[in-house]
Amino acid sequence: MRPTLDRLNGLLRRLPTWPVWLLGAVPLAILVARTLAGDLGPDPVKALEHELGLWGLRFLIASLAVTPLVWAGLRLLKFRRALGVTGFAYVALHFLVWLALDMGLRWPQIAGDLVKRPYILVGFTAFVLLIPLALTSTNAAIRRLGPLRWRRLHRLAWPAILLGALHFVMIGKVWTWDSLAYLALTLGLLALRLLPGRGAQGKSA
C-alpha cells in the first residue's frame, strides 16, 4: 500500500495545478455548447440553473475532501484552491442565471423569493459565506492575513458547503436520493474534522 501511495504522491508532486483548472472548465464548456445548440430541453433556464448548481456543489465537496485525503496520505493540498474557486465560480454563475434569466432582474420579486422561499435564503447565505473565501484565495491575501487568520476565515467553507447541500435537499417537495447523498457526503467529510487532533483542533482546514 505504502509504495503505491508514494508513487502516487510522486506523480502528484510533478503534476502542475493548471490541469485541475482546465478540468473545472470542461462542464462549463459543455453547458455553453449545449446552450448554443439548443440542447437543454424544454426549459433551458432551469436546466442551466440545475447544472451550474450541481457542478458548484460537486467542486465544493471535492475541495472539502482534500484535507481528509491528505490525512490518509494523499498529497492533494495544492489542488484544493483550484477546486474551491471553481466550485465558487459555478455557484456564482448559478446565482447569476437565477437573478438575470430566471427572475429577469425583477428586484421586488427577487426580494420576495429570498424571504418567502427558505431554500433560496439558505442557498443565498451559502453563497454570501463563500464570497470572502473567494476574495482571499490568492497568495497575496494569505500573506496579508497571515496563515492563522487565513485558516480561521476559511473555516467558513464548512457552514457554507453544508448550507449549499441543505439548499439542494430543501428544493423538492419530496427528498431525493441524490440530494440526500450529497448531504450525507458533506456531513461525513465535516464529521471527520471533529475527530480528536484533526480539523477543529488541528491546523488543517
Which residues are at the interface with ligand HEM (CB under 6 A)?
49-50, 53-54, 56-57, 91, 94-95, 98, 120, 123-124, 126-127, 130, 160, 164, 167-168, 171
Nearest residue (CB) to ligand HEM, 66 versus 126: 126
23 DSSP assignment: H
Nearest residue (CB) to ligand HEM, 158 versus 168: 168
Minimum CB separation of residue 95 from ligand HEM in Å reads 4
Nearest residue (CB) to ligand HEM, 112 versus 147: 112
Minimum CB separation of residue 40 from ligand HEM in Å reads 13
Nearest residue (CB) to ligand HEM, 176 versus 201: 176
Minimum CB separation of residue 53 from ligand HEM in Å reads 3
Q: Can you list the pairs that 30-35 forms with residues at least 24 positions away whose Cβ atoms lie under 8 Å?
A: none
Minimum CB separation of residue 1 from ligand HEM in Å reads 34
CA angle 87, 89, 93 (to 5 degrees): 120
String of DSSP letters for 90-144: HHHHHHHIIIIIISTT-HHHHHHHHHH-HHHHHHHHHHHHHHHHHHT-SHHHHHH
Phi/psi at 202 (5° precision): -85, -165
